[in-house]
Amino acid sequence: MSSVRPPLLFVAQDEAVVIISTLPLRISGGRAEVHRTGPVVAISPVGQGSHGWTRREVCGFGVLGVLLACAVSWFGGEWWLVLAVPGAILQVASMFVRSELKPASVVAPDFERQPEAHRLLMAAEDRQTISEVVEVVGRICAAWPTLGGMIDVVSAEHALARIMFNLSDLLARRQRLRQTRDGLRNQSYAGLPANNPAVRSLTAQMDRTDRAMSQVDAEISRRIAALEKTANASEIFISEEALRRATRDAEQVLAEFDHENSLWRPEPSTALTEEFEAVLTAYRELINPPDEAE
């Protein structure tokens, strides 16, 4: 019986940020929904936490004050009103208390100590991209039981974790470039001639930023396409393997009725070797991409 391997990557997402980390993450102010896909653990908050005292807490303190006042009075203490009055006030006030609800949030406990192990994505576009990548990784991992010995699952898990973390690094880089580009575009140079040195410098920086954005966008698309290709190749192979099993089962049943009639027997699949190779090629390209950008 194989042991469960520890996760290699954690992806935590709330309404404002996605954190991708090689170290464990958690949810603050609410419950966590945890889903593991191969080497990746996806974490998201469920429900909302409360901010401030709740009605039950205020009422509880009031009841406690009244009970303490009763105990003091029972033993002859003359200062029981000091406890009873605040207790009664708290019980009445609890009827009007409404604790403020705030969304639960993701937390990276080791961010200050090991920032290099984390990537933060705050732009909606980048958060959506990493969510879609997690889904594609789930499709790839779902095919592993059927692929059997065709791939080394341990190596594939490490490769997927590395690919996802590097991709998140590219997304974080694109996020910084986008912020820089927007900052440059928001600069006003009304009234300055186009040949002004400051205006020319600003235009040059905008052009450089746009070119850098295009390069990063192209690399992100290439890496996501490699993941999609691997997922598609695996799913196609699994579908065709199911058809081959159904064909073999039908052939065995039909052979019982007519051992001599070769028309019932389908020809061997000449494409099987090519299908194996398609899956293996997709994994080789995914794990060892040509000229991978740093």
Residue 264's pLDDT is what?
Answer: 44
Judge whether 8 lies within some domain: yes
274 and 153 belong to one structural domain: yes
User: Does residue 62 sit in the same domain as residue 173?
Assistant: no
Residue-wise pLDDT tens digits, 11-39: 999 888 999 999 999 888 778 889 898 89
Surface-to-core class of residue 99, CB atoms within 10 Å of its CB (0-12 exposed, 13-18 middle, 19+ buried): middle
Q: Model confidence at 289, in pLDDT bands (50, 70, 90)?
A: low
**Contact between residue 167 and residue 206 where contact means Cβ atoms under 8 Å apart:** no
In a domain, 293, yes or no: no
Q: 130-168: per-residue pLDDT in tens?
A: 999 999 999 998 888 887 777 788 888 898 999 999 999
Q: Is residue 292 part of a domain?
A: no
Looking at 122, 156, 180, the residue that finishes a domain is 122
23 with 65, same domain? Answer: no
Domain boundary among 98, 133, 164: 98
pLDDT at position 58 = 59
- Start-to-end C-alpha separation, the chain: 39
For 58, the domain range is: 54-98
| Residue 15 covered by a domain | yes
Q: Looking at the 3D structure of the chain, how many domains does it have?
A: 3
* pLDDT higher than 70, residue 1: no
Q: For residue 210, give the amino acid letter.
A: D
- The per-residue pLDDT for 268 is 46
Q: Are residues 61 and 152 in the same domain?
A: no
- Per DSSP, the three-state class of 118 is strand
Helices (H), the chain: 55-74, 80-93, 124-142, 144-147, 153-185, 197-257, 272-287
DSSP line for 76-106? T-S-HHHHHHHHHHHHHHGGG--PEEEE-EE
* pLDDT on residue 178: 94
Confidence band of 61 (pLDDT split at 50, 70, 90): low
Query: Can you give the pLDDT at residue 144?
Result: 84
Most confident listed range (93-97, 179-183, 232-236): 179-183
pLDDT in tens, 235-246: 888 887 777 777
Verify that 277 and 144 share a domain, yes or no.
yes
Determine which of 44-58, 187-201, 217-231 has the lowest per-residue pLDDT on average.
44-58
162 lies in the same domain as 94: no
14, 148: one domain: no
Region for residue 236 given its phi and psi (left: phi exceeds 0; alpha: psi -120 to 50; beta: otherwise): alpha
Mean pLDDT of 175-200: 88
Which has the higher per-residue pLDDT, 182 or 288? 182
183 and 246, same domain (yes or no): yes
Q: Which residues contact 232 (CB under 8 A, 6 or more apart)?
A: 282
Q: What angle do CA 181, 182, 188 make, to 5 degrees?
A: 105
Residue 189 belongs to some domain of the structure: yes
The tens digit of pLDDT for each residue in 73-113 reads 777 766 666 666 776 776 666 665 555 555 678 888 888 89
pLDDT of residue 293: 43
Instruction: Please report, as a single letter, which amino acid is at residue 2.
Output: S
Provide the edge-to-edge strand list for the sheet that holds 31-37.
31-37, 40-46, 9-13, 18-21, 118-121
For a pLDDT cut of 90, what percent of the chain falls above it? 32
Per-residue pLDDT at 175: 94
* Backbone region of residue 119 per phi and psi (left: phi > 0; alpha: psi in -120 to 50; beta: other values): beta
Contact 155, 283 (CB under 8 A): no
pLDDT value of residue 82:
66
pLDDT at 69: 72
Q: How confident is the model at residue 267 (pLDDT cuts 50, 70, 90)?
A: very low
Q: How many CB atoms lie within 10 A of CB 19?
A: 21
- Output phi, psi for 186, to 5 deg: -80, -5
Under 8 Å between Cβ of 169 and 219 = no
181 and 209 assigned to the same domain: yes
pLDDT for 53: 56
Non-local CB neighbours of 281 within 8 Å, separated by 6+ positions: 233
Q: In sequence order, what are the residues at sequence separation of 6 or more whose Cβ sits closer than 8 angstroms to the Cβ of residue 64?
A: 87
Assign 187 a pLDDT band (cuts: 50, 70, 90): confident
**175 falls within a domain:** yes
